[in-house]
Amino acid sequence: MIELKNIEKYYANKGVKSYILRHVTTSIKQGEFVSIMGPSGAGKSTLLNILGMLEEPTYGEYHFMGEDVTAMKERQRIELYRNHIGFVFQAYHLIDEMTVAENIEAPLLYKKIPGSERKSRIADVLDRFNMVAKKDLFPNQLSGGQQQLVGIARALVAQPSIILADEPTGNLQSTQAEQIMDLFKKLNQEEGITILQVTHSEKNAQYGNRILTIEDGVIKEDISVEKQM
Partner 1 sequence: MFKLNLKIALRNLWKNRGITSINVGGLAIALAAFILVMMYATYETTFDKENPNYDNIYVVGITYPEFKTYYTAAPFAKAIKQNFLEVESVGLIKESSFELTIKNGKKTLFTGKILAADYNAAKILNIQPKGGLVQPSGDVERLTYLSDKSMKTLFPSKKDNKPEMVGFGASNSGITGTIAGSIKNNLHSNFVFDGVSIGNELGNGDNYDMNNYTICLQLKSGTDVINLEQKITDLYQAELLKSKKGKRNDEIKGISAFLDPLSNLHLRPKAGNDTPYKILIALSVLGILILVIACINFTNLSIAQATKRAKEVGIKKVMGAFRLQLTTQFLVEIFMQCFVAIILALILAELILPSFNNLFQVQLTIWDLENKLFWQLPLILLVITIIAGIYPALVLSGFKPALVLKGNFSTSKQSYWLRNGLLVFQFSIAVVFIISLFTINSQLKYMQSQDVGFKTNQVVYIKNLTLFNKPAKMGSVNFEPVREKMLKIPGIQSATVATYIPGGTNGINSYSANGVKANIDFVNVEFDYFETLNIKLKEGRFFSNTFKTDTVNSAVVNETAAAKYGMKNPIGQTITGSGIEYKIVGVIKDFKSQGFEIAVQPTIYTINDPHGDYKTQIMVKIEENRMAEALAALKSQWLQINPKDGEDFRYEFLDELYGKLFKKQEQLQSVFFAAAILTIFIAILGLFAFAKYITNGRIKEIAVRKILGANDLQIFKLINKTFFVMVLVANLISWPLAYILTKKWLETFAYRVDMPILPFTLSALITILLTIVTVTIQARKAVKANPVDALKYE
Window of 1-9, 63-71, 95-103, 213-221 that interacts with partner 1 by CB under 8 A: 95-103
Window of 36-44, 59-67, 79-87, 120-128 that interacts with partner 1 by CB under 8 A: 79-87
CA atoms within 13 A on the CB side of 142: 25
CA distances in angstroms from 181 to 20, 31, 196, 210, listed in the order given:
28, 16, 12, 15
Does residue 98 belong to the site contacting partner 1 (CB under 8 A)?
yes
Q: Are 66 and 119 contacting, i.e. CB atoms less than 8 angstroms apart?
A: no
| CA gap 151, 149 in Å, rounded | 5
H/E stretch holding 175: helix 174-191
Contacts with partner 1 in 42-71 (CB under 8 A)?
45, 49, 52, 54-55
Q: Identify which of residues 80 and 211 has a Cβ nearer to partner 1 in the complex.
A: 80
50: nearest Cα among 115, 2, 121: 2
| CA gap 181, 185 in Å, rounded | 6
Among 59, 95, 119, 182, binds partner 1 (CB under 8 A): 95
Q: Identify which of residues 155 and 219 has a Cβ nearer to partner 1 in the complex.
A: 155
CA atoms within 13 A on the CB side of 60: 23
Q: Identify which of residues 11 and 110 has a Cβ nearer to partner 1 in the complex.
A: 110
Q: Give buried/exposed letters for 42-62 (b at 16+ CB in 10 A, else e).
A: bbbbbbbbbbbbeeebbebeb
CB of 83 to partner 1, least distance (A): 8
Does residue 169 belong to the site contacting partner 1 (CB under 8 A)?
no
Among 64, 87, 129, 184, binds partner 1 (CB under 8 A): 87
Does residue 102 belong to the site contacting partner 1 (CB under 8 A)?
yes
Among 18, 41, 78, 202, binds partner 1 (CB under 8 A): 78
CB of 87 to partner 1, least distance (A): 5
Does residue 132 belong to the site contacting partner 1 (CB under 8 A)?
no
Does residue 109 belong to the site contacting partner 1 (CB under 8 A)?
yes
DSSP 226: P
CB of 88 to partner 1, least distance (A): 10
Residues forming a β-bridge with 34: 196, 210
> By the criterion CB under 8 A, which residues form the site for partner 1?
45, 49, 52, 54-55, 74-75, 78-79, 81-83, 85, 87, 89-91, 93-98, 102, 105-107, 109-111, 154, 158
